[in-house]
Amino acid sequence: MTILRQLFNNIALLTAKNKKLSMMLGIILFVLFPFALNNNYILHILIIVGIYMILGVSLNIVTGITGELDLGHAAFFGIGAYISSLFTMKIYNNFWLGLIIAAIVSFIFGIILGIPSLRIRGDYLAIVTLGFSEIVRYVLLNWQDVTNGPMGINRIPLPSIMGYRIGTKQALFYLVYALVIITIILVRNLSKSRFGRALVAIRENEIAAAAMGINVGYYKVWSFAISAAFAGVAGSLFAHYMSFISPMNFTSNESILILSMVVLGGKGSIIGSILGVSVLMLLPEMLRFVSMYRMLIYGIALIAMMIFKPKGIIPENRMPGNYKKISFIKASKAQEHEV
């Protein structure tokens, strides 16, 4: 693992030094990849993995950075999916508008779920989030006039950009991963900023955080809301990609799956969440050759990971060594040049 970390650090340093070159390389690889791999089955899996990456990284804001156990993430995923598909099918057929409205509505529900966190913590809050997720599922199941109940919503339009339908798997792959990258950049900015520091301070010690002038309740609600908004985006992508959704897609099991991805990857670590999602999504697929024992191996792998690496695949590393050193040294050098 230390070798791996050194490798990461070296890559980070190299990319920081040759920013333009590495960006170009990254873009070229990214563009060529789906064509080189002209396999619809693998592309489908990778698209779903991408959607779950958005979910994992966004849940990491609440569970990893703010340190609150959240078992209701699938509810926001579902809200985003239903709002976006209902909007595009019944009101105005524009995918991007649907996506934004899904994010906004999820954001508002995030605030609503964030409010109990002002009074309750830990296990008790986990139960509240679980309850919230069940309420959302039951509303989706029983409000038949709007949600079509357990039959789900069918024929959700595919995404489109400026009138062009994004129909091929390749194009959908680009769309999903573009949003994954935006999510990662935004959440990374957040975690290294004044806002992110306030959130980790709350996680580490609420009383001391308040003594530093941090409005604990305000920041907690914001962290829930932002996390929910990203989940809403993921939901919208999922709905328009799959073109069929039903309440079965958004059960508490999903929430628990996303949570285990974040915990397995490493709470608070964004790269960790991405790896956690990849491992937990790809492992069952890769294990198909042992068909009968697939889930058994999957379970054992999960338990073994938690015993031998309880802090996750890549533990949170807020050491300035990684990110801050590079950016700060660069920034201060730039300042010197100006002077």
Partner 1 sequence: MELLTVNNICKYFSGLKAVDDVSFNVKKGEIVSIIGPNGAGKTTLFNVISGHYTATKGKKIFDGKDITDLPAYKTAEVGITRTFQNIRLFSNLTVLENVMIGLHTKLKASILDSLLNIAKTKEEEVQCYDNAMELLKQVNLENKCMEYANNLSYGEQRRLEIIRALASKPKLLMLDEPTAGMTMQEAMELVQFINHLKYEEITILLIEHNMRVVMDISDRVVVLDHGVKIAEGKAHEIQSNEKVIEAYLGRRKNSA
Residues at the contact surface with partner 1, assessed by CB under 8 A:
186, 189-190, 192-198, 200-201, 204-205, 207-216, 222, 226, 318-321, 324, 327-328, 331-332, 335
Are the C-beta atoms of residues 265 and 56 closer than 8 Å to each other?
Answer: yes
For residue 319, the minimal CB distance to partner 1 (Å) is 6
Residue 202 φ then ψ, to 5°: -65, -40
CB closer to partner 1, 157 vs 315:
315
CB closer to partner 1, 147 vs 223:
223
Among candidates 168, 176, 157, which has minimal Cα distance to 97? Answer: 157
For residue 195, the minimal CB distance to partner 1 (Å) is 4
For residue 199, the minimal CB distance to partner 1 (Å) is 10
CB closer to partner 1, 253 vs 327:
327
Are the C-beta atoms of residues 217 and 55 closer than 8 Å to each other?
Answer: no
CB closer to partner 1, 74 vs 113:
113
Sign of the alpha-carbon torsion through 182, 314, 70, 297? positive
Question: Could you tell me where the DSSP H helices lie in the chain?
Answer: 2-17, 19-36, 40-60, 73-86, 95-114, 122-142, 144-147, 169-191, 194-204, 206-211, 216-242, 252-265, 270-286, 294-308, 324-338
Spatial separation of the C-alpha atoms in residues 159 and 88, rounded to whole Å: 10
The DSSP call for residue 18 is: T
* DSSP string across 179-217: HHHHHHHHHHHHHTSHHHHHHHHHHH-HHHHHHTT--HH
CB closer to partner 1, 254 vs 316:
316
CB closer to partner 1, 204 vs 285:
204
CB closer to partner 1, 212 vs 248:
212
* DSSP string across 43-91: HHHHHHHHHHHHHHHHHHIIIIIS------HHHHHHHHHHHHHHIIIII
For residue 198, the minimal CB distance to partner 1 (Å) is 6
Spatial separation of the C-alpha atoms in residues 79 and 275, rounded to whole Å: 26
For residue 122, the minimal CB distance to partner 1 (Å) is 17
CB closer to partner 1, 221 vs 261:
221
For residue 208, the minimal CB distance to partner 1 (Å) is 4
For residue 197, the minimal CB distance to partner 1 (Å) is 5
Among candidates 139, 159, 10, which has minimal Cα distance to 82? Answer: 139
Residue 162 φ then ψ, to 5°: 50, 50
For residue 192, the minimal CB distance to partner 1 (Å) is 8
